[in-house]
Structure 1
Amino acid sequence: MQKSITSFFKPKDGLPGPEKSSVPEKTKSTENISKNKIKSEDVVEEPGNENKQPPLEATGAEKPADMPPSKITKMELNPEVTEGEGIEIYDPSLESYHPLKHAYWKAERVTPYLALARTFQVIEETSGRLKMIDILSNFFCSVMLVSPEDLVPCVYLSINQLAPAYEGLELGVAETTLMKAICKATGRNLAHIKSQTHLTGDLGIVAEQSRVSQRMMFRPKPLNVRGVFTKLKEIAKISGQAKMTLVYDVFVACRLSEARFFIRSLIGKLRIGIAEQSLLTALAIALVKRNHINDCKTNKVCDVYKDEIAETTLILKTTFCQCPNYDIIIPAILKYDIKELQERCPMHPGMPLRPMLAQPTKGVLEVLERFSGMHITCEWKYDGERAQIHLNELGEISIFSRNSENNTPKYPDLIARSKSFLKTDVQSYIIDSEIVAWDIERKQILPFQILSTRKRKNVDIEDIKVQVCVYIFDLLFINGVSLVTKPLSLRRKMLFEHFQEVEGQWKFATALDTNDMDEVQQFLEESIKGNCEGLMVKTLEEEATYEIAKRSRNWLKLKKDYLSNVGDSLDLVVIGGYKGKGRRTGTYGGFLLACYDTENEEYQSICKIGTGFTDDDLRLHSEFFNKHVTGSAKSYFRYDPSLEPDVWFEPVQVWEVKCADLSLSPIHRASIGIVDAERGISLRFPRFIRIRDDKSPENATDANQVAHMYKSQDQVRNNQKSSSLMDIESDFY
């Protein structure tokens, strides 16, 4: 008979505490979760134990469940474990980690799901970005050498995806369904699971701790990565009771931290702070470690081969931008030299490229300074939805958003008339464009808000009320040939050769080629009259390639803003909420916003905002964000404790915000270290404009953009000039 719970948590001098860990200090979010441990409902008293301290589950006190794997004994890991079973202790954070020697599954050559779960656990308990990447690279390197067939599912599971983003394969499992599966497996009641989830803010932690109550006559076989990944894909493709059954089948086989991360995967919130750019960096480091396996005595390999790592990372990230599909990239990096990767993984229609982005600018003078002596073109900046339209060799049309979301079902009317704008025999293409709402009667562009009311799914052409027109501004691929390395002048010439305008349906972006700044200013005013946001200013010949996924200085965004001192709005991520008072009681009265630092992959606070909202706005925002509350701040949130909101949110929504100006701040952390070593940048008088559904949080205004906007302000520029003159005078005297 299985031993009772109490026999596995024997107290020493009162309630036990975890040993001192060698793993870096836990993040705040993990600390907060660990303070809310679950109380056991079924504690069994053993004879003779009446005078002993109760088990930790019974007291509600902390237990060492969140300790690093390297410091947890097999008794502490799981009450199911009995003496003599010899559970392997896996710790990819070791300084002396060796990809082969420490890969305890090398005999089976099938990666245990427990190894991946423990990697996630150690990453979650680590606060340093570089260390997190290094831990993941250690695990990836072991998989490459021992069980390379598992690398694709390991990579997808590490970013909580089942397939390329553009395929739109999502799990869609409701929390209630998962709670019922946990209840069925552990014998706990639903009310208890709900209350503990509300207390901890993390159903994954609740699931892991609830496993204490699970009783099985026969233990299922240990889970492996490939099997779990396959099951998750099955769960995503079915519905109803069958989904619940599959979830239960996997959950009952979970051991230790597997339960935590399996449930989190189903919810869609892995909570380990690894974004796509970090994952690609970890893959690159793992490739270099694999190539220098004999030097992997310590993690100093990253220092010795840093140039090779930098080159490998650049190649891998560039390739992913033109071919965002790990099912293609991973087999290629395992089989071929990294320098062949871009050739082996070319772009092709049907697979979205990451779009080229523009730098904001505040006026014509800045354009003149940047493009002095260059041939430039100005295009109207349309207030619509960025669209990358593809035609493949089979004649299939695909339409992707700037986030690589497949919007094809949203525009059946565009597909129906897609042949009308072909001028020649075109077999395949990829065009970059903007879709805008169109007034057929008045033949003019309508505001973005009108376009946003258009139905997104199950669209019937007969029921479409909001008509659209496509404004094409670039050609990236034609008849099997990539054009991204060609100058814009050539790409535009080929665009005009192969495509034609159709009134009210397909148009070329209104453009003006000029180096006269007076003409640029006049053209800007014309664009505003034409219901556009401003201009896109681009180079035609010099430095005029299409820079995939980069916010290039060769594309400048020139907008006529009512606050000319700033020059552009900012797209910021909502990370926290402050409870409203007075009229706003019952809703959030203010919010904490952040920009995104792409280099450190963290959200940096930039302002608190409470203006620009109607009462209906606040009600809708509150309803939305109440579904995305997290128990504590994420490890990748950077903020001053004085700003701590009443409630933290998952970073799930981007808002467009305008302000009076930008200033240095002792408490906000935006762009800290770029303009000032100790102070960040904040917004003065921020005002909410709209939700940016077309942008993901990682595509929000980044820290470098914020720094550029701050330095571009007249007041700052004038102060810098004054400081320079004072320095010159000081040197003179």
Structure 2
Amino acid sequence: MNSIRLLVARRIVVSLSNRSLLAAASSVHSAPSLVAANNRSMAQKSITSFFNITPKAKKENKHEVTPSPEASTEESPVNGNDKRVKRSRCSSSEKEVDCKESASPVTPEKKKKVKRQRIESSESEPPSPAKSFSDSEQIAIKVENSKQPKTYDSPKIKKSKAKMTKKVVAVKSAEEKTIKVEKTSPPEKSPKKDVKKSPALKSYFTVKTTKTEEDNKSNGIKKENTETGEEDNVKRVAETDYNPAKTKYHPIEDACWSKGQEVPYLALAKTLQAIEATSARLKMVEILSNYFRSVIALTPEDLLPSIYLCLNQLAPAYHSLELGIAETYLMKAVGQCTGRSLAQVRAAAQRCGDLGAAAEQARAAQRTMFAPPPLSARRVLAALREVAAMTGHASVNKKISKIQALFVACSPCEARYLVRSLEGKLRVGLAEQSALQALAQAAAATPPAGERAGTLDAAAALGAERFKALVDELALVVKTTYCECPNYELIVPALLRHGARALPEHCRLTPGVPLKPMLAHPTRGVHEVFSRFENEEFTCEWKYDGERAQIHVPGDDAPRLADAAIFSRNQENNTSKYPDVLRRLPTLLRASVTSCVLDCEAVAYDVDSKQILPFQVLSTRKRKDAAEADIKVQVCVFVFDLLFLNGRPLVRAPLEERRALLRQHFAEVPGHWSLATARDCRSEEEVQQFLEEAVRGSCEGLMVKALRGEHARYDIARRSRNWLKLKKDYLDGVGDTIDAVVIGAYHGRGKRAGVFGGFLLACYDPDAEQYQSLCKVGTGFSDDDLRSLSERLRPHRLDAPRNYYMCAPALAPDVWLAAALVLELRCADLSLSPAHRAAAGLLHPDKGVSLRFPRFVRVRDDKAPEQATPARQIAQLYAAQDQVRNAAAARAPLDDFY
């Protein structure tokens, strides 16, 4: 007990002596702080000094002079640094060692700012009884401190400032401010009498507005000033949460972009993703329609790029703008962007059955340090057009670099559909007719022009039945207009400017813009013709085995032959392929023709023997930029329909009228121009006889067409039952099937992923004991057929082809198979092929025979591979064809040892 008393007494003596030594220094360096410290009671100072100055602390700081109780809360006499703030901040809640370690020297300027904050807002130390402020003064201090700039980075000070900012009140008088507050805060303007404009309320509304803007920013609300000066505070959904499949979709509130902003490519990708996950066609149309509505309401100038991208088109088909990216180069670009090798990307694509899905997985596993700017729909379309326009030296590397620049800016969802667009197949199940239906539905629900322009949801105002009738009406107008003028760059601006109903007035059939041709529906017998055309008049025409050619001749007072063009069935511009046809064009047109559009068939023709040659002869003709002097394969053009004459569209006129005008205004030139051979039949016997004549004339069969009435119009872009095709290979009892052996398989893609999607078949040559490649087949299979065949063939996999497999390297399958399974096939006809090796040497020294348009019939389990159709029989079937017998080059007899 005595020792304890002695220790306490010693500490008090040391403290008193140090206090006297430091009093002078404190008075010189910190007079205001000393005055504030003297206001404390002696008991409080002694207690504080006792706990702050311990033997342990003095031991750790043996080179420093022990401060007195007054100086312990102000500053050190040794170096003039302020240690009070650091100690007092944690003196009531932390250990002494932590407080000592947290104390660090600061500059005198920082010292004063920290000291003021400590006096005014310290919560770790109780206020001194001598220094007590009124409530208004304390509030004023907190208001002033809330307006001061940030001077200390301590988390506790930040917390204290945040609390003080929320306690903003009105300041009634500037005179109530103390001298202390005036020195530490900027001068305040005198308050006005109007309470709404007082500084305190201004501060409140400023805080409220700032918080609201921050919340709006985080929630996707963007403030816009429109042309009328109004504010748009509509809440937007995040791009990753965009869902056009939402019920009761709102074109503005449910969109993920603002008015006037470029449409994000992610919004289009989300739309395609929702469509891909839907099997119902009406739901697909609704999803795409919702997206189109938002585009019309917010960014109508992006409607055209959106339509092109969702249809995987770059421009009208007759512009012939193609990307020209091989799958290997696309895999290489994806691998370089994601750090994978070409083999890894190829394996992932085979595993997924889709390169787009493989790219999506690779992109999802990749992390970037700096995110590039997000993609927009118009930017993606522009970049794809740039890729398609790149030609010449090093164009492949330029294309890969451009693709990589797009890919690194993609999200995983965007990567899938970008890669598919580059491949040329979106595979979402969206047909062009569905896209046109969606466009009409969007124009009906959110009209861009017309009497209901500006309405965001016309369906709510019209009711379900009236709205459905309006959609059907506009859909018919849009589809008909597109059939006559298949150019979105003409249709979309007219739709946005004049509305859907006014499209026929601004977009019409025009020479130079190719139409999608009318197609015929297949039939399997003559009896089906009379079942379809019962009580109707029809006509039969020879079906020529050539290439569809749509000839356009523009003109006003006279035909402009220099601007004439020839388009293919797929609307490709084949003008440079047929310079000889264009040269002979004046001999076809009579003087009464100023402009026209003709539907024709270009057929390879032997002028000397006046015989039609097989299609494979025509396929040897150069496809582009052919010089007339170098042309070896002559063609005869057979004209069978007239769609436009002298400024008048004829697609709605009956066939009888169109054919009469065709015979009146166009001339025939033997070997160059000819009208299709036709006959109006009345009985099955007449049809059968005319069919046999067509086959003997080296044609594929007959085209049966309605002659009069409403069904006799030209249905653009339709495979209509108003036209029936009666081909020889469709008829029962005509021709023969072929049994071929499976020697290879190709991996399925898209919906066929996970199974074999196609097969390489061969015939058997018993003389050479070889399997010679005959064709590739992928049609005629159901999903169950492919699944069962894949299971049966997987045990027969081979690491390499057998040495008795005769196949060109270009036809090498993904998986080689042992010859174990026989399939029965039907085909349109047989042709010579430089790639396949069936019957090679029997008909041509370098070419074999292949099947044209083969399709699967059934599996022949009753036949062994050696019992398949032999190579010699394949050669006989080829030579027995009428078009081959009619050709002069194929009249040499074939040796037959049977």
TM-score, normalised with respect to structure 1: 0.65
Matched, 1:384 2:523: no
Which residues of 2 match residues 362-373 of structure 1 at below 5 A? 367-368=529-530, 371=533
Which residues of 2 match residues 395-544 of structure 1 at below 5 A? 395=561, 396-513=563-680, 515=682, 519-543=686-710, 544=712
Q: CA deviation at 1:553?
A: 4.0
Change (3 A) 1:385 1:236: same
Q: Secondary structure at the match of 2:828?
A: strand
**Alignment-derived partner of residue 270 in structure 1:** 426
Mapped to 2, the partners of 1:208 and 1:371 lie a distance apart of 52
Which residues of 2 match residues 160-179 of structure 1 at below 5 A? 160-179=312-331
Mapped to 1, the partners of 2:691 and 2:543 lie a distance apart of 10
**Alignment-derived partner of residue 27 in structure 1:** none
Change (3 A) 1:528 1:176: closer
**Alignment-derived partner of residue 827 in structure 2:** 688
Task: Letter of the 2:678 partner, please give it.
Answer: A
Mapped to 2, the partners of 1:329 and 1:183 lie a distance apart of 39
**Alignment-derived partner of residue 388 in structure 2:** 236
2:407 to 240, 243, 251: 251
**Alignment-derived partner of residue 105 in structure 1:** 257
Mapped to 2, the partners of 1:286 and 1:186 lie a distance apart of 38
2:716 to 521, 544, 548: 548
Higher mean displacement: 389-398 or 469-478:
389-398
Mapped to 2, the partners of 1:646 and 1:564 lie a distance apart of 30
Mapped to 2, the partners of 1:484 and 1:274 lie a distance apart of 27
Which residues of 2 match residues 547-566 of structure 1 at below 5 A? 547-559=715-727, 563-564=731-732
Q: How many residues align?
A: 544
Contact 2:302–2:378 (8 Å) recurs in 1? yes
Structure 1 unmatched ranges of 5 or more: 1-72, 75-84, 571-579, 594-600, 629-636, 648-683, 693-699, 702-733
Mapped to 2, the partners of 1:617 and 1:307 lie a distance apart of 61
Q: CA deviation at 1:343?
A: 2.7
**Alignment-derived partner of residue 325 in structure 1:** 487
**Alignment-derived partner of residue 137 in structure 1:** 289
Mapped to 2, the partners of 1:86 and 1:546 lie a distance apart of 48
Change (3 A) 1:368 1:584: closer
Task: Letter of the 2:600 partner, please give it.
Answer: S
Q: CA deviation at 1:514?
A: 5.5
Change (3 A) 1:299 1:207: farther
Task: List structure 1 runs of 4+ shifted beyond 6 angstroms.
Answer: 296-304, 567-570, 607-618
Task: Letter of the 2:542 partner, please give it.
Answer: W
Task: Letter of the 1:646 partner, please give it.
Answer: S
Q: Which has the higher helix share?
A: 2
Mapped to 2, the partners of 1:516 and 1:409 lie a distance apart of 44
Change (3 A) 1:110 1:425: same
Mapped to 2, the partners of 1:592 and 1:253 lie a distance apart of 30
What do the CA deviations read for 1:483-541 (whole angstroms, capped 9, x no partner)? 11222232222212221111101011122345466555543433333222333333433
Contact 2:333–2:400 (8 Å) recurs in 1? yes
Contact 2:525–2:731 (8 Å) recurs in 1? no
What do the CA deviations read for 1:237-287 (whole angstroms, capped 9, x no partner)? 112332222222222222342222222211222232212122122222222
Matched, 1:127 2:279: yes
Mapped to 2, the partners of 1:301 and 1:180 lie a distance apart of 53
Contact 1:386–1:435 (8 Å) recurs in 2? yes
What do the CA deviations read for 1:546-593 (whole angstroms, capped 9, x no partner)? 22233444434344568436x8999xxxxxxxxx99x643457xx999
Q: CA deviation at 1:401?
A: 2.4
**Alignment-derived partner of residue 303 in structure 2:** 151
**Alignment-derived partner of residue 52 in structure 1:** none
Contact 2:604–2:614 (8 Å) recurs in 1? yes
**Alignment-derived partner of residue 354 in structure 1:** 516
Higher relative contact order (CA 8 A, sep 6+): 1
Q: CA deviation at 1:422?
A: 1.7
**Alignment-derived partner of residue 646 in structure 1:** 790
Q: CA deviation at 1:365?
A: 5.3
Q: CA deviation at 1:469?
A: 0.6
Contact 1:332–1:341 (8 Å) recurs in 2? yes
Q: Secondary structure at the match of 1:104?
A: coil
Q: Secondary structure at the match of 1:465?
A: coil
Change (3 A) 1:415 1:184: same
Mapped to 1, the partners of 2:503 and 2:748 lie a distance apart of 42
What do the CA deviations read for 1:590-625 (whole angstroms, capped 9, x no partner)? x999xxxxxxx99xxxx9999896899984755x98
Q: Secondary structure at the match of 1:240?
A: helix
**Alignment-derived partner of residue 375 in structure 2:** 223
Mapped to 2, the partners of 1:400 and 1:614 lie a distance apart of 41
**Alignment-derived partner of residue 585 in structure 1:** 743
Which residues of 2 match residues 526-675 of structure 1 at below 5 A? 526-543=693-710, 544-559=712-727, 563-564=731-732, 584-587=742-745, 619=773, 621=775, 639-640=783-784, 643=787, 645-646=789-790
Change (3 A) 1:584 1:327: same
Task: Letter of the 1:483 partner, please give it.
Answer: L
**Alignment-derived partner of residue 334 in structure 1:** 496
Mapped to 2, the partners of 1:88 and 1:587 lie a distance apart of 40
Matched, 1:313 2:475: yes
Mapped to 1, the partners of 2:266 and 2:693 lie a distance apart of 62
Contact 2:521–2:720 (8 Å) recurs in 1? yes
Contact 2:318–2:573 (8 Å) recurs in 1? yes
Structure 2 unmatched ranges of 5 or more: 1-217, 220-236, 792-822, 832-852, 855-898
Contact 1:527–1:535 (8 Å) recurs in 2? yes
Contact 1:96–1:299 (8 Å) recurs in 2? no
Mapped to 1, the partners of 2:684 and 2:517 lie a distance apart of 28
Mapped to 2, the partners of 1:494 and 1:168 lie a distance apart of 32
Change (3 A) 1:294 1:569: farther
Q: CA deviation at 1:642?
A: 7.8
Task: Letter of the 1:323 partner, please give it.
Answer: C
Change (3 A) 1:436 1:143: same
Contact 1:157–1:229 (8 Å) recurs in 2? yes
**Alignment-derived partner of residue 656 in structure 1:** none
Task: Letter of the 1:224 partner, please give it.
Answer: S
Contact 1:611–1:687 (8 Å) recurs in 2? no
Mapped to 2, the partners of 1:299 and 1:214 lie a distance apart of 48
Task: Letter of the 1:459 partner, please give it.
Answer: A
**Alignment-derived partner of residue 442 in structure 2:** 286
Change (3 A) 1:255 1:691: farther
Contact 2:443–2:499 (8 Å) recurs in 1? no
Answer with 1 or 2: which has the greater Rg.
2
Identity of aligned residues (%): 49
TM-score, normalised with respect to structure 2: 0.54
What do the CA deviations read for 1:656-683 (whole angstroms, capped 9, x no partner)? xxxxxxxxxxxxxxxxxxxxxxxxxxxx
Higher mean displacement: 412-421 or 192-201:
192-201
Change (3 A) 1:540 1:202: closer
